[in-house]
């Protein structure tokens, strides 16, 4: 078995570099050692794999077939060996994450505190932002967003339960004004809206009726990019605001706010940790993914 495998990595290096010298430099051996190892492999197979000339190196027909067949397998073996090595290693380094400001369950701290305790050599750098951007281009390891806005070429794992959005208002406001019965009624109420930046339009409030989605362009009396400001104004009776039920729940529990139009607010997929597909993910990121999965299993 050892004899069968001997020389395959040398052959792959030659096939990829198309040069005995470059293959030797990549493997840290002499050109002569590359030639001898390849010759022994060809002798065992009984066929020439490489066509050698004084100026170039090319693969024979058999060499092309062999290269296509063994390259994926050798990559899998190398990955398996690295996985075993990683089992003895400790995740370390700086892990950069960008998180939506409304990902309440992820930002509660419980999940991340457990990760910090489990992987003390990993340092977290967390940016809270609702702007959408290319995390690869920005040098970010992973992000947390609603599943519906994550690009399809990303790997994504859930970090929350299903979510719901709904309007919320203080009991004091309801005493002074009629309760809206349909989302369209919101256009006649004082509303507290959200926008990510000053140069963008306020977020349109989304609803569902008879299995059909629609949105309402309210005319906010106040617009801000800060959810805590929206909640404080709503609690003070300034108007109706809109956001995640998960965010409002403590205020609902205390009676400071009440939900509105719940029949028009069905659940939808929640938040996901997402990251780019790579042949090998950094150990620090794999450790976070495994911690999230372990936490989900309870």
Q: Which CATH number fits domain 93-161+270-296: 3.40.50.10490, 3.30.830.10, 3.40.190.10, 3.90.550.10?
A: 3.40.190.10
Distance CA 78, CA 83 (A): 9
Distance CA 38, CA 282 (A): 33
User: How many other C-beta atoms can be found within 10 angstroms of the C-beta atom of residue 30?
Assistant: 13
Task: Supply the DSSP symbol for 170.
Answer: -
- What is the chain's pLDDT, residue by residue, as a tens digit (298 residues)? 445 567 888 888 888 888 888 888 888 888 888 888 888 888 888 898 888 876 778 888 988 988 888 888 877 777 777 666 666 678 888 999 999 988 888 888 889 999 999 999 999 999 998 888 888 888 899 999 998 878 888 999 999 889 999 999 999 999 999 899 999 999 999 999 998 888 888 889 999 999 999 999 998 999 999 999 999 999 999 999 999 999 999 999 999 999 999 999 999 989 999 999 877 788 899 999 999 998 888 6
Distance CA 21, CA 32 (A): 9
Distance CA 246, CA 252 (A): 10
**Do residues 292 and 278 lie in contact, with contact meaning Cβ atoms separated by under 8 Å?**
no
For the domain 1-87, what is the CATH code? 1.10.10.10
Query: How crowded is the C-beta side of 280, counted as CA atoms within 13 Å?
Result: 12
Distance CA 279, CA 289 (A): 16
Instruction: List the alpha helices (DSSP H) in the chain.
Output: 2-5, 8-17, 20-27, 31-45, 61-88, 104-107, 110-118, 171-176, 227-235, 245-254, 283-297
Distance CA 251, CA 237 (A): 13
**Is the overall model pTM greater than 0.85, yes or no?**
no
- Domain range annotation of the chain: 1-87, 93-161+270-296, 165-264
Tell me the backbone φ, ψ of residue 207, rounded to 5 degrees: -140, 170
pLDDT tens per residue, range 12-29: 888 888 888 888 888 888
What's the full length of the chain, in residues?
298
Pairing of strands 93-99, 122-128: parallel
Q: Helix (H, G, I), strand (E, B), or coil: what is residue 152?
A: coil
**Do residues 68 and 62 lie in contact, with contact meaning Cβ atoms separated by under 8 Å?**
no
Q: Which CATH number fits domain 165-264: 3.10.180.10, 3.40.190.290, 2.40.30.200, 3.60.20.10?
A: 3.40.190.290
Judge if 93-161+270-296 and 165-264 fold alike in CATH terms. Answer: yes
């Amino acid at each position: 078995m050892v004899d069968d495998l001997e020389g395959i990595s040398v052959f792959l290096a030659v096939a990829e570099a198309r040069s005995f010298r470059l293959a030797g430099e990549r493997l840290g051996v002499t050109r002569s050692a590359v030639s001898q190892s390849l010759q022994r492999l060809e002798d065992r197979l009984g066929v020439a794999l490489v066509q050698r000339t004084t100026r170039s190196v090319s693969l024979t027909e058999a060499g092309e077939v062999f290269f296509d067949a063994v390259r994926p397998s050798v990559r899998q073996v190398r990955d398996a060996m690295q996985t075993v090595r990683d089992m003895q290693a400790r995740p370390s380094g700086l892990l950069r994450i960008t998180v939506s400001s409304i990902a309440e369950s992820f930002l509660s701290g419980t999940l991340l505190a457990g990760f910090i305790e489990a992987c003390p050599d990993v340092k977290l750098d967390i940016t809270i932002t609702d702007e959408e951007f290319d995390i690869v281009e920005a040098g970010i390891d992973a992000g947390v967003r609603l599943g519906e806005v994550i690009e399809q070429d990303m790997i994504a794992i859930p970090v929350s339960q299903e979510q719901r959005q709904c309007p919320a208002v203080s009991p004091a406001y309801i005493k002074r004004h009629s309760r809206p019965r349909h989302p369209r009624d919101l256009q006649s109420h004082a509303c507290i809206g959200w926008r990510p930046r000053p140069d963008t339009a306020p977020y349109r409030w989304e609803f569902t009726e008879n299995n059909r989605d629609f949105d309402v362009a309210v005319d906010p009396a106040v617009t801000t990019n800060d959810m805590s400001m929206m909640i404080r104004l709503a609690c003070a009776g300034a108007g109706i605001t809109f956001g995640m039920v998960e965010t409002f729940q403590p205020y609902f529990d205390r009676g400071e706010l009440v939900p509105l139009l719940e029949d028009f607010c069905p659940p939808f997929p929640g938040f996901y940790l997402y990251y780019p597909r790579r042949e090998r993910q950094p150990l620090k990121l794999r450790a976070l993914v495994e911690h999230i999965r372990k936490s989900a299993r309870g």
